[in-house]
Amino acid sequence: MRKFIVPALAALATFGIAPAAQAEDTEVRVDFSDLDLAQSSDVSELRARVLTEVSAACNDEVPSFASRLQVRSCIRDAMEEADAQIDAQRSIASASTAELG
């Protein structure tokens, strides 16, 4: 089971990763308190940070004898869920910006 959680108002995203070879989740935390998710460039920066952390976690969590396909699948699945969470955070940031503007 994969568990991906992003606190709605916090500036720290938590992403869970559960490679097919393991039953438990691994959390990946990515700080984005320095980013304005209403800005496309900052959203791209967050996605890059998440990809870096997710790639490292997937490579660490998948046993060394496992195929590279399992690692790529882990990264792809984690990024799909992370992108949905990033989009949700971006919507919140855009709404906040619109209210202030």
What is the extent of the structural domain holding 23?
Answer: 12-100
Compute how many other C-beta atoms are within 10 angstroms of the C-beta atom of residue 98. 9
* pTM score: 0.68
What token pair was written down for 12? 């720290």
In a domain, 7, yes or no: no
Task: Dump pLDDT digits (tens) for 64-99.
Answer: 666 788 888 888 988 988 888 899 888 888 887 776
Return the exposure string of 46-81: e unless at least 16 CB atoms fall within 10 Å of the residue's CB, then b.
Answer: beebbbebbbebbeebbeeeeeeebbeebbebbbeb
In a domain, 5, yes or no: no
User: In the predicted model, is pLDDT for residue 14 greater than 70?
Assistant: no
Report pLDDT for 11: 46
In a domain, 29, yes or no: yes
How many domains does the structure of the chain reveal?
A: 1
Determine the Cα–Cα distance for residues 27 and 78; give it in Å rounded to an integer. 11
What token pair was written down for 68? 């590279």
In a domain, 76, yes or no: yes
In a domain, 90, yes or no: yes
In a domain, 3, yes or no: no
In a domain, 2, yes or no: no
In a domain, 17, yes or no: yes
